[in-house]
A = this chain, B = another copy of it.
């Protein structure tokens, strides 16, 4: 990413602004701090699309009363290591955090914990929840369904979200292996960027409204769809579709949330589904105590060895080295903690608009 053209901000400054904004909308201080921390983590790890760039969307939904600022998060059903949680239409960042805590508390008691969540909203980066589990020497799983953008293989309309899957494994001396992937071939943000820059996109990212492969961003934006990971039948598009389905079912069918094309939007400008088949969107969290499987230190040392062997894979011609899942975010984190968070002009302008609306000061050029 070209960060040089962007103005940079101290993480702490953005964090405090975000806390004040959430608080302005009636979110209790501790919830606001939590939600802001998750957005900040995304910015620090270089996942620009899920950081303060999303604040404008959250504010839009909060202004319209579409998100409950002070939810009573409750357990709807439970059996020892498993439960369904109702997020009471709270901020997904808050509901997600507490549901993930419940999964980890269960893991402490029962060896593992699994929580399916309904009645929630957009929860930020999936990886945050998996990283939390590392702090407790657990392996943490995190998934969410999202607004429809992806066509099933052989379909010609949006039926599933980009439905991410995250899981993380702790190293001993090495940084953790952090897996956090959307089950679509490409992110929607990349299609928007290509459109703005009047560029084509690679074949395999999108289809037009008739389900034909296209390289023109407009074809996707105007009624087309993203393709699932694997893109085409030949390259395994049925697998990406199956993974997106797995996430949709675990997060939303199992919890009583809106699944598939009925997942509500995460921003005001998005289309409202024609039908409701449940409450809000859904998440799924899992936590497993490493100690229940293997001595924790031994496991971490085995992960270090795994990392070392994978890193020493003979690289393809012209490639410096094979990366470990989580490496790009880890490198970005080191850099951004030193140099600050680069924000582009659109995001700065959105934050200024929030500042004007709320009276909370924000200074960007």
A181 to B310, CA, bound (A): 23
| Per-position 1/0 for A108-143, Cβ under 8 A of B | 011110101000000000000000000000010000
A316 to B249, CA, bound (A): 24
Residue pair A79, B179 in contact (C-beta under 8 Å): no
Residue pair B245, A314 in contact (C-beta under 8 Å): no
- How near does chain B come to A97, taking the closest CB pair, in angstroms? 20
Q: Quickly give the copy total for this chain.
A: 2
Residue pair B179, A242 in contact (C-beta under 8 Å): yes
| Per-position 1/0 for A149-175, Cβ under 8 A of B | 001111111010000010101000000
Residue pair A310, B152 in contact (C-beta under 8 Å): yes
* 17 further interface pairs, Cβ-Cβ under 8 Å (given A152-B310, A159-B313, A177-B249): A80-B111, A81-B81, A81-B112, A82-B293, A152-B313, A154-B321, A154-B322, A155-B314, A165-B243, A183-B239, A204-B235, A207-B316, A212-B317, A238-B325, A253-B303, A256-B294, A277-B302
Top 10 nearest A-B pairs by Cβ distance? A211-B316, A79-B292, A82-B292, A82-B111, A155-B313, A80-B111, A79-B111, A81-B111, A181-B239, A242-B325
Which residues of A are at the interface with B, using a C-beta cutoff of 8 A?
77-84, 109-112, 114, 116, 139, 151-157, 159, 165, 167, 169, 177, 179, 181-186, 202, 204-205, 207, 210-212, 229-231, 234-236, 238-243, 245-246, 248-250, 253-256, 259-261, 277, 288-294, 299, 302-303, 305-306, 309-310, 313-317, 319, 321-323, 325
